[in-house]
Amino acid sequence: MSVKLKINGKEYKVDEHKDTPLLWVLRETLNLKGTKFGCGIGICGVCSVILNGEVIRSCITPLGEVENKNIITIEGIDKNHPVKRAWELAQVVQCGYCQPGQIVVAYNLLTKNPNPKREEIIQAFLGNLCRCGTYPRIIKAVELASKLMRGRA
């Protein structure tokens, strides 16, 4: 069964069943390995991607729900984007496994709200787990990215 996808501004046509989780198509069919597998039940946030402006869990989202919709993965966020720069400057990464999902959430938050309050940042990240416990650095990086985006850093 053929499914049309729009990922990071490119169009793809994949021959996969519409019940196949998006995550597996990203990683195995399209070789977009940045989005990681975590829990497999949509609670850890490691597999987060953006679908039409909303963060979703790609491990539990079937292809049939994303056909012809705009998907942004970690690969679709420019390496020089303020969020990625802030992540480096704030030295967020320890093991790095959850970071693609965290960066996707930060990017989506700042796209919608370029100047979030600390409480809004914390709220946006509820459900995105980091086993290394870098939450204070994540918050700092989002605050810094906000400043960079507004030309104040």
- Across the chain, which has 153 residues, the per-10-residue mean pLDDT values are 95 97 98 97 97 98 97 97 97 94 98 97 95 96 97 78
CA 88, 86, 141 angle in degrees (round to 5)? Answer: 105
Q: Which two tokens mark 21?
A: 């989780």
* Closest CA relative to residue 58, chosen from 75, 76, 36: 36
44 within 8 A of 99, measured Cβ to Cβ: no
Relative to beta strand 10-15, strand 48-51 is unpaired
Indicate the pTM of the whole model.
0.95
Which amino acid type is present at position 115? Answer: N
Report CA-CA distances (Å) from 108 to 14, 17, 58, 120, 125.
26, 28, 15, 12, 11
Q: Which stretches within 54-98 are classed as H helix?
A: 82-89
Predicted confidence at residue 73, as pLDDT, reads 98
Unique residue bearing structure tokens 């679709």: 76
Predicted confidence at residue 153, as pLDDT, reads 67
Predicted confidence at residue 152, as pLDDT, reads 79
